Amino acid sequence: MKTRNIIRFSIYNIIICLIFAAFYPAFAQEQEKEYDIKKTYYPSGKLKTEGAYHWGKREGTYREYYESGQLWKLWYFHDDKEDGTSQWYLENGKLTMEWNYSNGKLEGTSKWYYETGEVWAEPNYINNIQEGITKTYYKSGNVMGLWNYHDGILNGLSRTFFDGGGVEVEKYYMDGKLEGPSRTYFENGKVALEANYKNDKLEGTSKLFYIDGAIKVIDTYENGQIIKRVRYGIDNKFAKVEESFKDYFDDGILKSEISFKDGKKNGPEKTYYNSGYIKSEFNYLDGRPDGVCKTYHDSGYVETVTTYESGLKKGTAYEYDSLGRVIAETNYYKDVIQGIAKTFYPDGSLKTETYFSEGRPEKARGYYQNGKLEHEENYHDGVVDGMKTWYFPNGDVSQYAYYRKGQIDGAYVSYYQNGFVKSEAKYANGKLLSERVYDEKGRVLKN
């Protein structure tokens, strides 16, 4: 009896040991995965990232490296979310940014640095969004600017300062765009410039002052475009009025030449591409386009030629491709399309012709490049209405459909080139109701 119990107990222990031995490796592996250091590498084999993980999530210090081996970013994570101060470095080892995180979101004041180590900016964040005053600094440590943010966008009054103190510029923003009065000051505190903005563009009167406070220039702007300039001498006496202006790109290339009279465009206007090629040539009379006006491709070829009379298009307007070939002709009467409008293939053959009456299409035809009819359609109240028919290059019908108020409404039928029906369908107000599809021998494929 005792021997039997001993044998039974021994067998039981052996079974327990075998079960434990079978599951221990997996258990041990899981234990190893609880805390782990993971690394990634550049194709060159150089270390790219390394960080601590807890159950597969980043926890604690996490580092990113330049391929040179220099530390690029130093992060701190909790439960796979950024937490605490993150530091970013230039490849020369200089600290360039410090970001403060809480639960994976930017929170509080961060810092950006000059390459020489001085603080350049201190943006403030609430719940991952730039909010409140962001400060910028000169290398001397003096405040350079106070920028007012709301919901990540400049809003309200922002100021910049001279290195020695004193306001340099005051500007108001609304939703990231300049809006309202703007002032620039001399270092002695006197106003150097007064301007007004509307929707990020200069609008109304701008005044430029001499350092003693006397008026130097009064400019008038309309939608960002200067339309009049009045100059005054140092003695505050009127000097002259200017109504012709040149504008330039940042690199000094001429951008535009515009003339005004009594606040309205008058005479020739030219605009240019940054390459120096002309972009447009217009002529204005009393603020409206008048005469032959042209636009150009940046290759130098004419793009459009349009004739105006008192601001209204008249006669035939031409459109050209980038190689100078006519691609469209449209007729206008008092700014309304009238008669036949045509488009062309590159070889000059007719592609489409559309008949207009008082600006609305009435009938249209499309053609293959060999001149054969490709499609034809009718319009009512400016939209396709009635039967539209398409053709094969040999002249046989390839498909037809009925339209009502611009939408397929009724039968739609398509054909194979051998003349057999390819598909038959019915539509109502543009929606498919039923369809039957055939093969080239007339056998039903889909019903």
| pLDDT confidence of residue 357 | 96
Distance CA 385, CA 367 (A): 20
CB 365 within 8 A of CB 380: no
CB 275 within 8 A of CB 298: yes
Q: Give the strand order in the sheet containing 108-109.
A: 108-109, 124-126, 129-130
pTM: 0.68
| pLDDT confidence of residue 134 | 98
| pLDDT confidence of residue 24 | 43
The percent of residues in the chain predicted with pLDDT above 70, rounded, is 93
pLDDT tens for each residue of 206-231: 999 999 999 999 999 999 999 999 99
Across the chain, mean pLDDT equals 92
pLDDT tens for each residue of 382-402: 999 999 999 999 999 999 999
User: What's the Cα-to-Cα distance from 378 to each of 356, 366, 385, rounded to whole Å?
Assistant: 11, 12, 6
Residue 194 pLDDT > 90: yes
Q: Is 21 helix (H, G, I), strand (E, B) or coil?
A: helix
Question: Tokens 């790109």 identify what position?
Answer: 249
Residue 22 pLDDT > 60: no
Residue 27 pLDDT > 60: no
